[in-house]
Amino acid sequence: MGTEGHYVFLTGATGFIGRHVLHALRAEGYRVRALVRRPGETVEGAEPVLGDLRRPGELVPALRGCRYLVHCAALYSFTPADRAELRAVNVAGTAGLLEAARIAGVERAVVTSSSATVGPARSDGRPATEHDRAPLGPGAGYHRSKVEQEYAALAARVPVVLVLPTMPIGPGDWKPTPTGRLILDFARGRIFAAPPGGGCNLVAVEDVARAHILALERGRPRERYLVGGDNMSFGDLWRALGDATGRPVPRRRIPYRLALALGYADEARCRLRPGSVPRIPLEGVRMSAERMYVDSTKARAELGYAPGPVYPALERAVAWYRTEGYVS
């Protein structure tokens, strides 16, 4: 489809994935209106639109004239005090935004989900695919909110394509995300033990951004597309981080039961001291024992998705943190 002059309404443009999506949209010739939350905030390469996902009805006027919507914004938090807000933003906010888009006449939407919604590799070792769904389970944490967000998106009355990134890495992770925090802590010499086991899938953030464009242009409505890179054990990841940062690889491995106990203790600390940020989030501890491996065959076949190698993305992330002064 031609892109010249077509407007895209983009949320999350100042975030890690969203900023790269903005660059990818601009490179393809799209014009972008970007949602911002603070008066006077600007987004380079986009027309800023002041608004709040908790009041999506107010966004209808700004959505008018936009042919497409790309929804990257989400509250990413493991803090107990944020759990009610997680549902308000990630679930109700997504549902409301998609309804506002329908009212405004938007033709198509892409929503950034998460590979956490498919769960870990199966017991027989098979990597997870789009046919799999993580159970809702108890509690009301971040990953549950992403599962509920998917159900809300698939129930919308505007054609929606879901993009499910794994763990994106690369330059510009300024907040940082939990993956960026891991890279930073390793580069700063603050990692003294390896996780209890398991593994993950890492992907270059630039590939994730490109996948959003492919989903916008080629994705089938109501379909989910896993966007991953390399499946790797945490041992392999630790060695790759050691090579990228020049830091020694920790030899000790923390037992899972001890990590879980520390996670519960940290959860209790955060409950007793509102505003505290978890240092050992329970959700992260539980996932560290799993093999969060995925298969991106569907995105490759239907979208033409072709991710590059992950190790150079790790190097780009470390180089960016050093250039920006995060690491000496």
**pLDDT at site 4:** 59
Cα–Cα distance between 130 and 117 in angstroms, integer? Answer: 9
**pLDDT at site 137:** 65
Cα–Cα distance between 269 and 263 in angstroms, integer? Answer: 10
Q: What is the pTM of this model?
A: 0.93
Q: How far is CA 143 from CA 43, 77, 140, in A?
A: 28, 10, 8
Coil, strand or helix at 78: coil
- Is-contact 184 83, C-beta < 8 A? no
Residue count (the chain): 328
Cα–Cα distance between 18 and 139 in angstroms, integer? Answer: 28
No. of H helices and E strands in the chain? 12, 10
Q: Provide the phi-psi class of 5: left if phi over 0, else alpha when psi is between -120 and 50, else beta.
A: left
Q: Provide the phi-psi class of 196: left if phi over 0, else alpha when psi is between -120 and 50, else beta.
A: alpha
Q: Give the residue ranges of DSSP H helices in the chain.
A: 16-27, 60-63, 83-86, 93-104, 142-154, 178-187, 205-218, 234-245, 256-272, 282-288, 297-303, 311-323
Residue indicated by tokens 């491996």 = 293
Contacts (Cβ under 8 Å, ≥6 apart) of 246? none
The one-digit pLDDT tens for each residue of the chain (328 residues) are 456 569 999 999 999 999 999 999 999 999 999 999 999 999 999 999 999 999 999 999 999 999 999 999 998 888 888 888 999 999 999 999 999 999 999 999 999 999 999 999 998 889 999 999 998 766 668 889 999 999 999 999 999 999 999 999 999 999 998 899 899 999 999 888 887 778 999 999 999 999 999 999 999 999 999 999 999 999 999 999 999 999 999 888 888 888 889 888 988 898 888 778 788 888 778 888 889 999 999 999 999 999 999 999 999 999 999 999 999 8
**pLDDT at site 255:** 85
- Is-contact 139 86, C-beta < 8 A? no
Instruction: Name the nearest CA neighbour of 298 among 231, 228, 249, 209.
Output: 228
Phi, psi of 319 (to 5 degrees): -60, -40
Q: How far is CA 81 from CA 78, 84, 266, in A?
A: 9, 7, 13
Residue 1: count of CB within 10 angstroms of its CB: 9
**pLDDT at site 3:** 60
Residue indicated by tokens 């393809």 = 28
Cα–Cα distance between 98 and 250 in angstroms, integer? Answer: 46
What domains can be seen in the chain, in order of their start residue? 7-323 (3.40.50.720)
- Is-contact 284 181, C-beta < 8 A? no
